[in-house]
Structure 1
Amino acid sequence: MWSGDELDLDAYLARIGYDVDRDGELAIDLRTLTALHRAHVRSIPFENLDVALGRKVPLDLKTLQGKLVERRRGGYCYEQNSLFAAVLERIGFPVAARGARNRSRGTALTPVTHALLVVTVDGGQWLADVGFGWQGPLEPVPLRDGARVEQGGWTFGVDVEDEGIHVLRSLRPQGWTDLYAFAPQSLYPGDFTVMNHYSSSHPLSRFIGQVVAQRPGADVRRALLRDTLSTVRTDGTAEERKVTAGELAGLLETDFGIELDDEERAGLERLHPTGA
């Protein structure tokens, strides 16, 4: 389903810093799933730079490996979770996909544009999502009504609404905040392709014409939107600052770990609100 047989697993493990001798043999168990999930979100940043630059965003595994693993770039949800699904499939985990409505931006009814994974371990289902950016979980979250987990100072929960709709929530200083909601319906790579087409080309997509880069760190979470860098810490403190065109590329490389070539640096500077 996810082309796991085509995956260069050793290269992927090296990319995310997973050492079998140090971190344990890969097995179809919760320890492995948790360790891979945490290592992936720590190492591969969320970013939309190809979309912002007007490029195509293929989802075939060869392209994903070339971009996220070999070139040490990042990607957004379809890329991140397609790659992670291939990894899990290669190891032997039963993995399925879901499509979610983003609720993190208020009460507006948004289309189903977010892609996530559901992984079965020892008969139980776990929400695995390495592609929701700085607000996403660091580790898998048990997919059951009323579940609550603390992950290094960040707390997440799952609740079930009418019609079996699952909601991923995050605990903030002001209380619980919905992140996204999804139905218990399996999606497939072709569905990701359709969703990806909207997100990468539709004029209403928030990824068009602006730089988005995010990193869900364990202690500090960072997000760059256009020319604004936002930082949030586990104690709830937050700050924002403007980023100049001249420092944009350097910031993406140092703070988000995104390796850029000269053409990308120049193109991103031109996208800055003040121009290059």
Structure 2
Amino acid sequence: MTVRRYLERIGAPMPGEPTIEVLRDLHLRHLRTVPFENLSIHLGEPIVLDEAALVDKIIDRRRGGFCYELNGLFAGLLRALGFRVSLLSARVHTPDGEFTHPFDHLALRVDLAERYLVDVGFGTHSSYPLRPDWPEAQADPGGDFLVVDAPDGDVDVLKDGEPQYRMESRPRELADFGPTCWWQQTSPESHFTKSVACSRLTPEGRLTLAGDRLITTVAGERTESTISGDDALLDAYRTYFGFTLDRLPTDPKSAVVA
């Protein structure tokens, strides 16, 4: 029942055998349906890496989440459909050329006849799974992606020549990401606590609601407008992302410090 409701959530039919064609279809449907968002942090909702809690949030309440939630629950769906899935820890590349701490990002590896990097929780990223052992750049609607060897058996993922994150090869459990998930939602140093954002892929590009700014990208052209008023913002979440909030998240950028 949960699998069927999850597939209905992303508009996918019940698949047959686990194949790369099925994986590609589920990956794209997920990105276009389930938003990458950090609203729980600014609504005072604890983020718990428990399958029942994730099902309630993402499937029943039709919300989104960040990497631990999105890739964590997507892994459960893929396993239920017969895919072999590993959860992998990654460190995100920073503007100063360094990498963040371990467990800063959760990505997936799916083993079919070949291995695939699956990631529906990194915001703006590839539309389809990537081959982690492919020697050349891989063309994708999201850009040209290259996966190259890094020290200690890790791999670096690059988009259009720019490093995105460094991923380990050692499989992890979802609970391993719990402490960093807590840090991401509570630390003033976490970029998730510094702003409010909700975003999803569209057939034409991307749609993002950042605070009160609606950002639409179509064929690489970005358009931005301001949504004024609480009712209009609540309606925007319903219209563009398909879920209903009973109140707006608190935007830290507009908070007044006494």
Q: TM-score, normalised by structure 2?
A: 0.87
Percent of aligned positions that are identical: 28
Aligned residues: 253
Distance 2:218 2:164 in 1: 18
* Aligned residue in 2 for 1:77: 67
Distance 2:36 2:226 in 1: 20
Q: Which SS does the other structure have where 1:82 is aligned? A: helix
CA contact (8 A) 1:52 1:207 kept: no
Task: Show structure 1 runs of 5+ residues with no match.
Answer: 1-6
Deviation at residue 146 of structure 1 after TM alignment: 2.5
Q: Where do residues 254-269 of structure 1 align in structure 2 (5 Å cutoff)?
A: 254-255=239-240, 257-262=241-246, 264-265=247-248, 268=249
> Residue 149 of structure 1 is aligned with which of 138, 145, 149?
138
Deviation at residue 47 of structure 1 after TM alignment: 0.7
* Aligned residue in 1 for 2:184: 199
Distance 2:254 2:41 in 1: 20
1:248 equivalenced with 2:233 (yes/no): yes
* Aligned residue in 2 for 1:44: 34
Amino acid corresponding to residue 45 of structure 2 in structure 1: R
Q: 1:243/1:157 Cα in 2 relative to 1: closer, same or farther (>3 Å)?
A: farther
Q: TM-score, normalised by structure 1?
A: 0.82
CA contact (8 A) 2:90 2:167 kept: yes
* Aligned residue in 2 for 1:29: 19
**How well do the aligned residues superpose, as a CA RMSD in angstroms?**
2.3
Distance 1:54 1:131 in 2: 21
Amino acid corresponding to residue 70 of structure 2 in structure 1: Q
Q: Deviations over 1:150-196 (max 9, x none)?
A: 3336332212223332122222xxxx222211121222112121221
Deviation at residue 233 of structure 1 after TM alignment: 4.0
Deviation at residue 107 of structure 1 after TM alignment: 2.2
Q: Deviations over 1:110-142 (max 9, x none)?
A: 2231111001011x2100011111x12111101
Amino acid corresponding to residue 138 of structure 1 in structure 2: S
* Aligned residue in 2 for 1:162: 151
* Aligned residue in 1 for 2:10: 16
Deviation at residue 228 of structure 1 after TM alignment: 4.0
Q: 1:121/1:178 Cα in 2 relative to 1: closer, same or farther (>3 Å)?
A: same
CA contact (8 A) 1:127 1:141 kept: yes
Distance 1:244 1:146 in 2: 48
CA contact (8 A) 1:48 1:207 kept: yes
* Aligned residue in 2 for 1:4: none
